[in-house]
Amino acid sequence: MIRKILLLSTFFCLPATAQEVVIEASSAVGIDKTEQKITSQYLSLKKDIDLLPGLNLASLSSSVSPRDKIFLRSFSPERVYIYLDEFPLNGSGIRGNFYIDLSTLDPEKIKKLEVIYGPSVIYGSNPGGNIIIKTKGFPTKNTLEINSLTGSFGTIKGSVNYLGSWETNGIELSFGGMKSDGYLRNDFMDSKNGKVTFYHLIGDSTVIKVFAGRYRIKDGIPVLNDPNNAKTNYDSDYPVVKETYFSLACAPYCKLKLIEKEGENYIERTTDRFGVSLSKDTDIGLLNLAIYTNKSYKKERYYGFFKTPAGIKLTYLRFNGQDDRTYGFRTTYENLSILNGEGIGGIEFQNSGYGQIDKNGKPFVAKNHNALRRFALFGEFKKELPLLTIKTGLRVENWKGNSITDAPNIKGTQILPSLTLSKKLGSVELFAGTGRVYRPPRAEEILWYSKEYSDIKSKGYDYDLKAEKGWDYEVGIRKKFPNLKLTARIYRYEIRDFIVSNFEAAKDVLNKSFPDRIIENLDYYRLNGLEISSNWKLLENLSVYTAYSYQDTKTSKSKFTPDKTPDPSVLIPKHKLTTAITKKNLLKRDALKLTGTFYSKRNGYTEKLPGLGVIDVSYSISPVKNITFNFQINNLFDKKYYYVENYEMPGRNYSLSIKALF
């Protein structure tokens, strides 16, 4: 009966307040799923995620756009899996999480966001970790929700959500869009999305959900100034600068020279998602089943200097095609009672590929709908013993990468264990854990491996592609005071055959330019890190959250370009400090939040970036029931800062949103 109540509460409950989202963060080899907890106002959700230690939200656009890369513990987006409820949004698909953004997954629809650091037996043994976005569930009454936002740089956003229920059925209709001119010229963004979700209850223990959605994003590539010229090219009194030395298409690994031209230099992507899920409470546990498919179509337009067989020329570069085609299923059995402990088990399968991609109207990449297949069995068990708590898990994963050229197929099977021990001493908890790291090549990496294989071999190189593998080791401590929760952990990763995209090698070894690249394995990748966070409740309505991260990486040299070894961590600072001060009920039903983010300098062969410190402030108020206003000022003190070299982020900017519930 308790499990039935938990099941129905999952699908019927709404957040405590309409404008708040709960953010929880924990380590996959930790014990407690709520090591850290933040309550976020939905307008500042992206900012609040960036408060977490070990997480870096590197913005690659000056507009409010989907070009935000999520790094977990210095690991780039392809090593971070994202789930929307039961459905994987990226996994081993072609794009990583590059195009997954909370701007297109309206935060006001989100109930909770879980961040899990490190390799997870349940969600995936990729080194970075996993992010699970929990949305609002089965509607309990008919409601109409209207959201609107306006802000600096011509930014406007709106969405309409209808929730309806009758007898044992429910429906959610949501439509939204956003436009922004951006801080720099041609840095525009235009997005539209629509989603339909049907719910059906069977008895008091089964919920079926069916959804279909389309998400369209069009992003302009900004015009940047000549790095040798100190003046900024967005000043109205400065002559137009024709050249840009940077393309978001491949940063930070390569930079392009593009020429500003009307109707050129943008990326447009349309993604279709469909899924069916079932949750059923049984006598032995909670059964979850999800079946899904994702398809993504791209259109890219560039005008600039590119390498051709006749030399470097000013020309057009245009790509069209289906660059993601993923389907699969995932099933789990939760809350299993095993040997007086708690267990979870499951099975998942995923097939990822792509369609034909054309370059300037001619075939460039042949379709490969079955580029990567993955199958996994997994289980995890947790038990409290008299002296300590133990959590152990095992994941068995089989994969196969299929080539459509003369490159050999690649495959592998791995046994991936994890073990965590935890000991409570009064208000102090100590834990130590380890987990196996494993990441097969993504479909996109298999694409370039297949395409460039013959040319690389013809240059005399011994070339193959392998999966990443290694270990994550962690020790930590948690301490509870009457009004303070403190968490600290130290971790170390040892990874072999680390996969990188080497654009410089394509240029130097193969005499090819963007988008060609060589996918290679580095012999090793090592990461040492420290994460500390505290949540201090000073008064009844006043709290302070502070987090500090230290991350230090070392990699072996590229065998193709030893002096220009790609480093996906180049955008990640060695030191990061964040803090958030929240005061609720200054008047009534309102909240004021002041946040600060501070980075140390970052250095790499592609990027040399100064440190940064940015302060943001937001204020939310509900003057009457069901009406909420949010006002936010970003970069309050108008500081100059960068996530990518020579690409200045916006100065002081504003946004105002209104949320109405009928």
pLDDT in tens, 234-261: 334 433 445 544 455 455 556 667 777 8
Q: Which two tokens stand for residue 568?
A: 């996906």
pLDDT at 102: 55
Distance CA(129)–CA(524), nearest Å, equals: 19
Please tell me whether the peptide bond between 252 and the residue prior to it is cis, using omega within 30 degrees of 0: yes
- The tokens 């976020």 sit on which residue? 40
Sole residue written with tokens 């003369």 = 406
pLDDT digits (tens, 9 = 90+) for 423-436: 999 889 999 999 99
8 A C-beta contact, residue 126 and residue 119: yes
Rounded Cα–Cα distance for residues 324 and 322 (Å): 6
Residues pairing with 198 in the sheet:
171, 210
* Confidence at residue 305, expressed as pLDDT on a 0 to 100 scale: 76
For residue 125, report the phi and psi dihedrals to the nearest 5 degrees: -90, 20
Residue numbers in the chain where pLDDT is lower than 50: 1-18, 64-66, 92, 94-99, 226-241, 244-246, 249
3-state secondary structure of 79: helix
Specify the amino acid at residue 394.
Answer: L
Q: What are 274's strand-pairing partners?
A: 212, 293
Strand runs labelled E in 238-388 = 243-244, 257-259, 266-281, 286-308, 311-338, 341-354, 357-359, 362-365, 368-384
Alpha-carbon 611 to chain mean position: 23
d(CA 548, CA 577): 5
Burial of 124 (0-12, 13-18, 19+ CB in 10 A): buried
pTM for this entry? 0.86
pLDDT at 545: 93
DSSP for 111-147 reads EEEEEEES-BTTTB--SSEEEEEEEP-S-SS-EEEEE
* Predicted pLDDT at 496: 96
- Taking 3-state DSSP, the helix, strand and coil percentages for the chain, each rounded to the nearest 5, stand at 10, 60, 35
Q: Which of 413, 422, 328, 333 is CA-nearest to residue 380?
A: 333
> Which position has the token pair 């979850």?
288
Structure tokens at 311: 């030399």
Q: Which amino acid is at 289?
A: L
Amino acid at 357: I
The CATH architecture annotation of domain 2-661 reads: Beta Barrel (2.40)
Pairing of strands 518-539, 542-555: antiparallel
Tens digits of residue pLDDT in 468-496: 999 999 999 999 888 899 999 999 999 99
CA–CA separation, 301 and 265 (whole Å): 5
- For the beta carbon of residue 428, count every other beta carbon within 10 angstroms: 12
Q: What DSSP letter does each residue of 393-440 carry, written as one string?
A: EEEEEEEEEPPSSSSPPEEEEEEEEEEEEEEEETTEEEEEEEEEEEEP
Residue 88 · residue 330 · CB < 8 Å: yes
Going by C-beta distance under 8 Å and a sequence separation of 6 or more, which residues neighbour residue 68?
46, 57, 58, 59, 60, 61, 101
- What's the Cα-to-Cα distance from 297 to each of 212, 214, 448, rounded to whole Å? 16, 11, 18
In the prediction, which pLDDT does 249 show? 47
Structure-block tokens of residue 543: 């709290």
